[in-house]
Amino acid sequence: MADIAQGGAAAPKLDELMLAMDVVDTLRHQEGLVEKALSEDSRDATLKERLRTLYEGQGLKVSDRILDDGIRALKESRFTYDPAPPSFARTMALLWVGRAMVAKVVAGALVALIMLGGVTYWRVTSAERASEAARIEMSVTLPETVDTAEAALVTEALTSDAKAEAEQRVAAARAAVAGGNAAAARQAVAALADLRATLAQTYELRIVSRPGERTGVFRVPDVNTQARNYYLIVEAVTPSGDALKLPITSEEDGTVKTVDKWGVRVPKATYDKVAADKSDDGIVEDNILGEKPRGSLAPVYEMDVLAGAITSW
């Protein structure tokens, strides 16, 4: 049984409605035909015949009523979608439809803001931590380190020159701390540690007499070709038998090199004495030139020596 539309008229069948919509759609796509046929109402009949011929060419039989209804619907702009004009309600509806994308954009913006805030906070707190660490270092750490080093040096320094050197380095460290110069203070503290290590060292200066190695050398100074400078080649040997590497300043060019063997300048008499000792059997029996005791800066020599050393020969 057919449904009854409002007002008592029978509702059009679905297939007829669809066919009428197709007629309108065909009219829209035939722009030239529409312009010519609809420019004058008297030519509706001509348009209807052309549409009928078009559909019959597709094997479709369309009634006059449907063709008339299609032409009338095109004129009335039925079956045409006109977008709603801009309004707050339309905007909110579009936002609701695209809420997933909007949520992603908002979330991304929030994450970016949080990250930016985190980076800024990290930079600020890092700078604050560094500033606080520097303050603690200058006001607490370095002064305490100097105090500790001074107490140790008072115990370690046993000779007058060692004590004087310790006092001088401690004073330099305290001045750097008081002046707020962190770099100079650290360098001064490192110098205190080096001095303490030097004072703690003990070794013998042994004259080298192994086969194939030089025991002594002499140099002819450029300024006086009639003179000779004599040197004995030595090494610093610890009580455990290890040879130390020590920083030695060469009197020939003023450079400092860390070496395990170097030449100590000696008088000709000392040089000749050692040469005679080695000449009988190739071995220097009396091979201890000096000994460096704990608490001193330099070795105590058992033979006569002169100031000066060389690091190559």
- 78 contacts: CB under 8 Å, gap ≥ 6: 24
* Section 268-290 average pLDDT: 96
Looking at residue 10, the DSSP 8-state letter turns out to be B
Of the candidates 248, 218, 251, which has an alpha carbon nearest to the alpha carbon of residue 232?
A: 218
Q: Is the pLDDT of residue 150 over 70?
A: yes
pLDDT of residue 168: 97
Give the least confident one: 74-78, 104-108, 144-148. 74-78
Task: Say what the alpha-carbon torsion angle 162, 168, 173, 177 is, to the nearest 10 degrees.
Answer: 150
Which stretches within the chain are classed as H helix?
14-29, 31-38, 44-57, 64-76, 88-97, 99-136, 142-156, 160-178, 182-200, 268-279
* Section 141-167 average pLDDT: 95
Q: Is the pLDDT of residue 114 over 90?
A: no
pLDDT of residue 251: 95
User: How far is Cα 3 from Cα 13, in angstroms, rounded to an integer?
Assistant: 10
pLDDT of residue 11: 47
User: How far is Cα 175 from Cα 31, in angstroms, rounded to an integer?
Assistant: 98
Please write the tens of the pLDDT for every residue from 234-256: 999 999 999 999 999 999 999 99
**Would you give the distance in Å from CA 203 to the centre of its chain?**
45
**132 residue type, one letter:** E
CA distances from 223 to 226, 233, 249 (A): 9, 24, 20
User: How far is Cα 2 from Cα 173, in angstroms, rounded to an integer?
Assistant: 110
User: How far is Cα 310 from Cα 313, in angstroms, rounded to an integer?
Assistant: 8
Of the candidates 203, 264, 206, 260, which has an alpha carbon nearest to the alpha carbon of residue 232?
A: 264
Mean pLDDT over each residue of the chain, to the nearest integer: 82
The structure tokens listed for 10 are: 């029978």
User: How far is Cα 190 from Cα 198, in angstroms, rounded to an integer?
Assistant: 12
The structure tokens listed for 277 are: 């000792």
Tell me the Ramachandran region of residue 159: left when phi exceeds 0, alpha when psi lies from -120 to 50, beta otherwise.
beta
**162 residue type, one letter:** A
How are beta strands 300-301 and 288-292 bridged, if at all? antiparallel
Please write the tens of the pLDDT for every residue from 206-242: 999 999 899 999 999 888 888 999 999 999 999 999 9
Residue 303 near residue 266 (C-beta atoms within 8 A): yes
CA distances from 222 to 185, 226, 231, 252, 264 (A): 43, 9, 17, 10, 19
pLDDT of residue 236: 98
Buried b (16+ CB within 10 A) or exposed e, 190-229: ebbeebbebbebebbbbbbbeeeeebbeebeeeeeeeeeb
Please write the tens of the pLDDT for every residue from 29-80: 654 555 555 555 556 777 777 777 777 777 777 788 777 777 777 666 555 5
Looking at residue 4, the DSSP 8-state letter turns out to be B
CA distances from 125 to 63, 117, 120, 162, 292 (A): 84, 12, 9, 45, 51
